[in-house]
Structure 1
Amino acid sequence: MGGNERLFNSSISDMKRGYSDEVDEYVCLICGESVQKGVIYPKDNVLYEAEKYMKLHIESTHGSIFEYLTDMDKSLSGLSHHQSKLLKLFYQDMSDEEIKNEMGIGSSSTIRNHRFVLREKERQAKIFLVLMDLLREGSNKNYKNVKRRISDVACSKRSEVTREEKDKIIERYFPEGVYGPLKAIDMREKNRIVVLEQLVNRFEQDKLYSEKEVNEILKEAFPDFVTLRRYLIEYGFMDRKQNGSQYWVRKYDHGTEGLNLERKKELKNQYKEIKTEAGIYQIRNVENGKVFLVVTPNLKTINGRQIELNTGVYRNKLLQEDWNKYGKDAFVFEVLEVLEQPEEGYFDMKDELKKLENKWLEKLQPYGDKGYHKN
């Protein structure tokens, strides 16, 4: 999906503050970083409760949400470069005379005209939002009919897919197996339904899940768990309480290809038994030579990092900006070293990976013009 789906699927109030208030956690709408409610987080030798810490995260990592939104591409924000710049200056509470001098505009009356145009745009946006709310919600009966139609589409689409087609779709989107990571969520509806059918098999029948538990399971498949969760509900694979406190798998036949418990366990074990290698790799920008180092207990997760960058939710802001600027073809992923693990005895994976990271940071010095790390 284009743009940041997590952000666009949020409410206006959540979008204004930059994070969503889930049942057990706060989730950054920009990068997907989450913090658990009830946990105290340290920052710069000060302890913060979760929500305050999330606000600090957004401020320190992304700047203000206002800045982030006004910096969005015109195709997403609907604002021209000129309008975005004006809004930033208005946000700084500058006078018309100051803005005129800052932008080199002929007269203050031109600035006043721009203010009028933006207010008109605001009024139009309000009307459009109301229309969309009425269209989306309607009466309770209409809303249920919409959900039923989506679910009916899912059922009919499943019946249209042959076994051979399904195998090809699964192989394309789950290259490491159905319990491995999902390659993408931008796909045709028929493919999406097959993918959702595999994802719902990660949940147990007759079990109630909290939103946090659903998120954790879906995170293993794809970074944008919010969109996956919404699809599972919309396409009738799962249901939930109105307040989002409990989720469950809907009780109907997912098709003759559905997995029984024994088959689920077999596939899970097969995925776990796939040999994984820990190590360090670099994401290198071939245009400017800058690199970003990543240590991981499983080098096969490189594909997941590519997905995060493609969807605009990668944790390193500088790298994400260059990825957006130069495009994915300007970057290569290169394994630098595989971590040797002893066959027997105690092995502190986390500590060894940290040593490996320090070794390569010292060797490559990926700071400033040479990389995306902060010194």
Structure 2
Amino acid sequence: MLNLFWNASPEEFKNGYIEEENYYICLLCGKKIEKGIVYPEGGILYEAGRYIRVHIEKEHQSVFECLIRLDKRLTGLTEHQKNILQLFYQGKSDEEVQKEMGIGSASTIRNHRFVLKEKERQAKVFLALMDLLKDKNKRLSGCLPPYKTAGTIDDRYSITQEESEKILKKYFPEGTDGPLTTFDMKEKNRLVVLRELAKKFEAKKFYKEKEVNEILKTAYDDFTTLRRYLIEYGFLGRKPDGSRYWLKGDPNGKEEGNMDRKKEMKQQYKDMKTEGGVYQIKNTKNQKVFVVATPNFKTINGKLGMLKWGSHKNRQLQEEWNQFGEDAFVFEVLEVLEEKEEGFFDKKDVLKKMEKKWLDKLQPFGERGYNQPKKREEDGNENRGDW
């Protein structure tokens, strides 16, 4: 979690989350929000990209509040400066800040603003200098990139290809497929050796402890030490009970924990009770709504995708989605269909009646919405539910 936090970009810091291939991950608590799933919250349905922001607001109040509480050695801010920044964030004027803090005058607060602006400019210059330095070092040194799942990255990882080859030749005199002469070596050398040993394991494959031992035994008699270091240095993953091991940091795969979590969430999604009913797509800019009945709320994912790709059959809704943007719209469940467990139950007919009830109630026509004021039988695709 700590590495994830400090490896984030300034923009990701500001957002409070990072985006990976299958997840959004909260930088403030590590919570993962899987993509492709609709999340209900307070009667509103959110796709993953918006739900991560809802999560941050609900659980952490704001990214600003979390960052401002960090220790001085991380922010470089005094408690006095933090208090002033918090008041500025609340929208207080210089006079209001001066009165609340009981210091100096309004001109004193203006001076504090200047000092903070100066720190901002200095931070920008420093970041640019560090980026330029990193770029130049990469070009000049030819250093090998640190292993993807390594822990804290430091000078031990500043190893060139030439250095790596010399180290491997020294400790694997018969070649890297041969035995390791010793594991009693300097830290930098150990990293090179461990990186090479990790290549003996296949990506996206799980191993029993006995299998790991057999592989490492071909390189060194004290295979338990090698196994322990491979785990400690982030090359191998291991379940707490030792029942399963896997190669970490594979560029084409994910860690075992992530794979298991993804499978688990997908299965939960499949096993969810199928619920249908009536929902609305609401434009929060002008309060217009589109009322739709569906036998399965999971189809909302498809409707969301159609809007994103510009292919929704309701032309007016699509045009305003394009105009106002995704953030202007929310999906809200109006009523959930209650199915009878006994006797004949015509779901389609019940859904039609439910939809008509909400159309009559909300009148989402003309300036009030995107539905067309026609009978279902005469409707085109623009006004059709999900059956």
The TM-score with structure 1 as length reference comes to 0.45
Higher relative contact order (CA 8 A, sep 6+): 1
Q: TM (normalized to structure 2)?
A: 0.43
